[in-house]
Structure formats: structure tokens, C-alpha cells
């Protein structure tokens, strides 16, 4: 089976590195033109653009700012003409134990990036899709949305739970507008975002409970995103696909 995304425009947030960069490369290899969103690392974003090919472009936005989220989507439409699919991958996962004096500020930032920005971009996408014959959304959540997490990641888990609920609502209410919405829920993925946890706990600790021999990597997630965007799984809209090496099964 060949995934064919030729002629499709796909916005991938947080695509300068890690899971987002792998997704951009994957959908680019399937023929899509990719809007590579990045926050601060323009050089890395430009590398992803080159790897994705097909006239892909980089777009900067600070997703902590709701106006910047709206502007991002508008700029992609301005450059590409239309968007066929949105992949909300960008997220942050700071260590935030309860005794941390910056706990409230850290949680505010987590909710802003991981949930509010996702909601805003989904809103922009749904409005756009309803005017242009439909579209597909893939939101990257986490196993933490379902099983919870440790003290250090209370707000992270809560933000990802919100992403799952948001996605289900979009799938249920906009299906007859030919809009499909899916969730992917990884566990720990070996990326720069996990670096703080890897340094804090060690890779052996993160491997506890993982059924396979290694931590999940970005390349383990990106093919599923391309598949969901292809239209071959539209009747799975609203579903969550766990890619966590059986570290949480529900």
C-alpha cells in the first residue's frame, strides 16, 4: 500500500525537530507540501523544509500567544492558498514538582502551548475546512491523558487529556462536513523534549514497563500520521491510536 499525499498542503506544528520533523519528512516523502512550523530554531526548521521538499516552507510562531496561533494559520493560507490537513504536534513538558516556586507559571505555559494553541488551530482549521470541502486533523496527545502521570507532570497529563476530549468533539460534530480528527498517544519518545526527563531519571527508568527493547522514536510515529492523513482510515475518526510500546494498554 502506497500513501499518496501529492497535491496536499499539510501544516505541522513543532516541526523543526523530533516527532514533528519526522512527520514533516514522512508526509513530504508521500508528496505533500509541508508548512513547517517552528518557535525559535529557524536553522533546524529550514533543514526540515529541505528534507520535506515539494516547495515546503517554514513558518515561525510562538504558540504561547493566541494571536500568533491565528496568524500562523492565516500566513500558511496566504502562502499555500489552502490547507488540507493540520498536525498539532508542538508541545512542552517541563519538570514541575509541586514544591517548584514556578509551578503555576509552568502550568500556565503548558496549558497555553499544549491545549489552548491546539484548540485555536483546530478552530481555524475547521472553519477553513468547512469552506473548502473538508480536511483532516491529527493531534498528538500522550498516554498520560489516559493513565495519568507522576507529580512532575500533572499539568502535562491534564493538558493532553484536554486534547483528547477536544479531538473527539471535533470528530463527532464535524464529520458530515467531511472533517476527520484523530489522536495519537505516544509514551516517552526519544527526542530533545524528553532530554530533561532522561537526565532526571535515566533511560533505564523510562524503559520500565515498555514491552519492547527500546524507547519509541519519532520514526515509529510518523508513518501512522501519514496513513491517517491519506484518507484510508476516515471511518476511524475520533479514535486514539496508542504508540507507546505497550507501556499503557486500554
Q: What is the CATH number of the domain that holds 170?
A: 3.40.50.720
Per annotation, catalytic residue among 38, 153, 156, 248: 156
- The model's pTM is 0.94
pLDDT value for 194: 63
Q: Residue 249: inside a domain, yes or no?
A: no
**Nearest to residue 49, comparing CAs of 62, 63, 38, 39?**
38
Q: Residue 60: inside a domain, yes or no?
A: yes
Distance CA 51, CA 29 (A): 9
Distance CA 177, CA 101 (A): 46
Q: Residue 235: inside a domain, yes or no?
A: yes
Tell me which residue range forms the domain holding 54: 9-243
Distance CA 74, CA 40 (A): 19
pLDDT value for 199: 66
156 is catalytic: yes
What residue ranges of the chain have pLDDT lower than 70?
193-201, 203
Q: Residue 225: inside a domain, yes or no?
A: yes
Continuous H helices in the chain: 18-29, 42-52, 66-80, 103-111, 117-131, 144-147, 154-174, 195-201, 203-207, 222-229
pLDDT value for 209: 80
**Nearest to residue 18, comparing CAs of 193, 186, 183?**
193
Distance CA 250, CA 19 (A): 23
**Residue 171: all three cell numbers together:** 470528530
pLDDT value for 201: 67
Instruction: Enumerate the β-bridge partners of residue 240.
Output: 183
pLDDT value for 191: 75
For the chain, what is the domain count?
A: 1
Q: Residue 62: inside a domain, yes or no?
A: yes
Amino acid at each position: 500500500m502506497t500513501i499518496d499525499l501529492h497535491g496536499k498542503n499539510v501544516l505541522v506544528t513543532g516541526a523543526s525537530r523530533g516527532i514533528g520533523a519526522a512527520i514533516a519528512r514522512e508526509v513530504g516523502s508521500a508528496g505533500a507540501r509541508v508548512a513547517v512550523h517552528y518557535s525559535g530554531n529557524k536553522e533546524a526548521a529550514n533543514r526540515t523544509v529541505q528534507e520535506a521538499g515539494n516547495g515546503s516552507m517554514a513558518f515561525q510562531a510562538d504558540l504561547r500567544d493566541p494571536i500568533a496561533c491565528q496568524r500562523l494559520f492565516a500566513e500558511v493560507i496566504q502562502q499555500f492558498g489552502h490547507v488540507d490537513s493540520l498536525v498539532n504536534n508542538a508541545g512542552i513538558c517541563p519538570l514541575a514538582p509541586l514544591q517548584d516556586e514556578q509551578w503555576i507559571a509552568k502550568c500556565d505555559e503548558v496549558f497555553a502551548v499544549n491545549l489552548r494553541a491546539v484548540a485555536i488551530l483546530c478552530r481555524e482549521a475547521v472553519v477553513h475546512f468547512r469552506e473548502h470541502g473538508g480536511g483532516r486533523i491529527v493531534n498528538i496527545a500522550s498516554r498520560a491523558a489516559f493513565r495519568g502521570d507522576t507529580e512532575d507532570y500533572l499539568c502535562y497529563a491534564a493538558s493532553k487529556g484536554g486534547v483528547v476530549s477536544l479531538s473527539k468533539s471535533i470528530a463527532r460534530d464535524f464529520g458530515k462536513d467531511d472533517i476527520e480528527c484523530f489522536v495519537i498517544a505516544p509514551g516517552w519518545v526519544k527526542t530533545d523534549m524528553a532530554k530533561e526527563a532522561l537526565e532526571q531519571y535515566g533511560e533505564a527508568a523510562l524503559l520500565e514497563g515498555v514491552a519492547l527493547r527500546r524507547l519509541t522514536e519519532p520514526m515509529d510515529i510518523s508513518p501512522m500520521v501519514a496513513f491517517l492523513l491519506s484518507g484510508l482510515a476516515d471511518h476511524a475518526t475520533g479514535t486514539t491510536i496508542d504508540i507507546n510500546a505497550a507501556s499503557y494498554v486500554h
